[in-house]
Amino acid sequence: MHLAFHLFYTFVGVDVTSAMSYDESKARDVIFVIDGSRSMGGKLKSSGMSKMEMVKTGLTNYIAEHWPVSYFPWPIRMGISFYRLLGTPGSTQIEVVVPLNPPPASLELYRLEEAGCRGGSPLADALRYGIKSTSDSMRKEKVVKLISDGGNDGPPAKTVADELGGSSVVVDVIELSNSASGELRDVAAMAHGAYLRPQNLAGFEAAIRK
């Protein structure tokens, strides 16, 4: 997979007048919050791909379709971040690959390619991060798309149940696993979101577009 290139933010070929007049009722912020733990390097048996390989391929294709029209002042803005639990005692690391807001002047896809699988998975901290990243947005629709294989090396997700249930942010959960996680299904229910468990690349690409 050859991702080491930049797509630069440019207005060439884009009708700026049309973009500025987008329908505000369709404006949305979407942030992909992705498990970057060691277990994401394992294979999804039904696909033959590693879970992380599927994430990178699917998101690269998605970005190629939407950039730059996914950014302000266009209807959709998106961000991409990975989360991990590193060190002893463990501390949560958030790796921002594409910031949601303010949008970057250039898109550095090599950073997505270079994201590795290491450490553990702090699920509750990842959920807090996703909600905090979008909750102050003035956009009508605010969505966190949590992508994980179901691992959790921190406090249970129910410890952030009040924050999930009381937020205007929707959390959709995309689980990439060989056996379903009841905890991830519960996260989607608590956060008024969808729970999806794709088993191949086509299914994953469909899930991130919902």
What pLDDT does 28 receive?
Answer: 81
What pLDDT does 166 receive?
Answer: 87
**Mean pLDDT by groups of 10 residues along the chain of 210 residues:** 38 41 70 97 93 96 70 70 92 92 75 94 96 85 94 94 90 95 94 96 94
Sequence-distant (6+) residues with CB within 8 A of 178 are 44, 45, 46
Beta-strand ranges (E) seen in the chain are: 6-8, 28-35, 43-44, 49-50, 76-86, 91-98, 106-108, 141-148, 170-175, 195-196
CA 59 from centre of chain? 9
What pLDDT does 29 receive?
Answer: 87
Q: Considering the domain 25-209, what is its CATH architecture?
A: 3-Layer(aba) Sandwich (3.40)
What pLDDT does 109 receive?
Answer: 80
Pairing verdict, β 28-35 and 76-86: parallel
Where along the chain do its domains lie? Answer: 25-209
What pLDDT does 24 receive?
Answer: 64
What pLDDT does 15 receive?
Answer: 43
What pLDDT does 67 receive?
Answer: 66
What pLDDT does 22 receive?
Answer: 55
What pLDDT does 6 receive?
Answer: 40
